[in-house]
């Protein structure tokens, strides 16, 4: 029994060494600390930009007031939400929507040309006209979740480019 626990310990140590040796990093760790600050340009009232600002500040990254040559710049060009009808009730009212959140942005890193990125996030949303207030709140929560996922995706891309 002692040999089995020693063997497990050795296997665990080997696994740890293999993971650290290959450069594995947890997804939450971003190599953004290489830069003193990041410039973020977006529409003043953009909720996605507000979330990005919060996430950058939570990583102790200074938000710059203007672009600088030695710091990356993120330009949020467009974010929008579309609804597509998926199904109808027998009376003709919409029963289910597909929400499509589209984001287009560019990242300019020091010494490189700006790179354009675009992605879409999808969610299904079931509508019920008898519960309009509850469904409106559910839609707000779903949009907040989509924006949060979009912000995390932009930060991961910035981290990949910066590394």
pLDDT in tens, 76-135: 999 999 999 888 888 888 888 899 999 999 999 888 899 999 999 999 988 877 777 777
Question: Using alpha carbons only, what angle is made at residue 129 by residues 124 and 130, rounded to the nearest 5 degrees?
Answer: 120
Residue 29 CA to residue 125 CA, distance in Å, equals: 32
Cα distances (angstroms) measured from residue 156 to each of 27, 28, 38, 79, 160: 8, 9, 14, 18, 6
Q: 71 and 64 in contact (C-beta within 8 Å)?
A: yes
pTM above threshold 0.85: no
Laid out side by side, the sheet with 37-41 consists of 62-64, 37-41, 73-88, 94-108, 115-126
40-60 in b/e form (b: 16+ CB < 10 A) is: bebeeebebbebbbebbeeee
pLDDT in tens, 7-21: 888 888 888 877 777
H/E segment holding residue 6 = helix 2-21
Mean local confidence (pLDDT), 41-67: 91
Residues ≥6 apart with Cβ < 8 Å to 152: 55
């Amino acid at each position: 029994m002692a040999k089995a626990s020693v063997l497990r310990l050795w296997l665990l140590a080997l696994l740890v060494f293999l993971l650290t040796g290959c450069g594995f990093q947890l997804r939450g760790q971003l190599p953004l600390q290489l830069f003193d600050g990041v410039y973020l340009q977006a529409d003043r009232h953009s909720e996605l930009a507000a979330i990005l600002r919060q996430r950058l500040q939570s990583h102790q990254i200074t938000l710059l007031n203007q672009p600088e040559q030695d710091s990356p710049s993120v330009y949020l060009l467009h974010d929008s939400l579309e609804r597509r009808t998926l199904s109808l009730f027998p009376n003709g009212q919409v029963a289910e929507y597909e929400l499509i959140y589209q984001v287009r942005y560019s990242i300019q890193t020091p010494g490189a040309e700006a790179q354009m990125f675009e992605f879409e996030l999808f969610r299904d949303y079931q509508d019920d006209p008898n519960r309009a207030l509850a469904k409106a709140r559910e839609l707000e929560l779903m949009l907040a979740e989509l924006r949060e996922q979009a912000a995390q995706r932009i930060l991961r891309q910035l981290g990949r480019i910066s590394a």
